[in-house]
Amino acid sequence: MPLLQVTGLSKRFGGFVALDGIDLAVAAGERVGLIGPNGSGKSTLVNCICGTLVNETGTVRFAGEVVDGLVTHERTRRGMARSFQLPRPFGTLTVADNLRVPLLYTVNARRRPALRGAELEARCIELLMLVGLAEKAANLPRDLTQVEMRKLELARAMAAEPKLLMADEAMAGLSQSEVDDIVTLLIRLNERGITIVLIEHIMRAVMRFSQRLVVLVSGKKIADGQPETVVRDPVVERAYLGQ
């Protein structure tokens, strides 16, 4: 049984069809790349899966349970986490406190006894060490560089101890070495057992990261398979890669 199963999902904005009958299955532990030109519906799909947007038709199943009708925080508590295309840190909270929030509200909601005091502190530091931000624990997000902000975004998603992480353009605007840094981090997270769907434009990163590649164009899924096979697919080349 797949961890995430999307069936016949559609979303419209007025007359514009953003998603048109999307079917997608992601197995537990998989690393899936989701690509497509701007406006193809990638972020809309993530928003519908996470509950930020309500889909008109179709069903989202997570860990065997239909999650349609659940609001975002309820889906997060069931094990779905996401990072945002543009980092959205809690600006008035320190870097460590940014991680404290999902620990308090998501992890503690399903854990008895709840994390408190020193244990909570230690978990924050552990996560910050994982992404290389331990020294910035007491800083405010505005003191971070662009790549550090991306790492904070991923660490905050990780703090919710998710089964599935959807990383929406986690590398946009980063240099080549910074992109490598983030890909390495994502692979390391996957090795810890987290299923990851990476939405990205940077093909080098997508090819290095993905075990499977899904292509969206104009709200429709046009390809789904091995990355090497998908990028050589003439339909994908014509629609997306422009070759």
Partner 1 sequence: MQNGIFLLVSLVVAALVFFAARALNNDYIFFAGYTVLQFIVLATAWNILGGYTGYVNFGSAAFFAMGAYASVFFHKLYPLPIPVLIVIGGIVSGVVGLGTGYLTLRLRGAFFAIATLALAVVLQTFVVNWDYVGGSRGAYIIRPNQSPLTGPYIHYLFLLMLVLVVLALACARSIERSQLGYGFATIRDDELAAEASGVPTLRLKLIATTLSGALMGMAGAPFPYYIGYLQPSSAFGLEYAVNSIAMPMIGGTTSWVGPLIGAVLLGSLQQIATVTISSAVNLLIVGLLLVGFVIIAPSGIVGLVQHGWPRRSAK
Q: Report the residue from 5, 40, 55, 106 that binds partner 1 according to the rule CB under 8 A.
A: 106
Q: Does 102 bind partner 1 (CB under 8 A)?
A: yes
Q: Which is nearer to partner 1, 80 or 231 (CB)?
A: 80
Q: Does 81 bind partner 1 (CB under 8 A)?
A: yes
Window 46-75: contact mask with partner 1 (x via CB under 8 A): ----xxx------------------xxx--
Cα-Cα end-to-end distance for the chain: 37
The C-alpha atoms of residue 92 and residue 143 are separated, in whole angstroms, by 12
Q: Report the residue from 11, 42, 100, 136 that binds partner 1 according to the rule CB under 8 A.
A: 100
Q: Report the residue from 64, 91, 117, 193 that binds partner 1 according to the rule CB under 8 A.
A: 91
Q: Does 101 bind partner 1 (CB under 8 A)?
A: yes
Window 124-163: contact mask with partner 1 (x via CB under 8 A): --------------------------------xx-xx---
Q: Report the residue from 25, 27, 63, 104 that binds partner 1 according to the rule CB under 8 A.
A: 104
Structure tokens at 190: 């996957």
Q: Does 115 bind partner 1 (CB under 8 A)?
A: no
Q: Does 82 bind partner 1 (CB under 8 A)?
A: yes
Q: Report the residue from 89, 139, 203, 211 that binds partner 1 according to the rule CB under 8 A.
A: 89
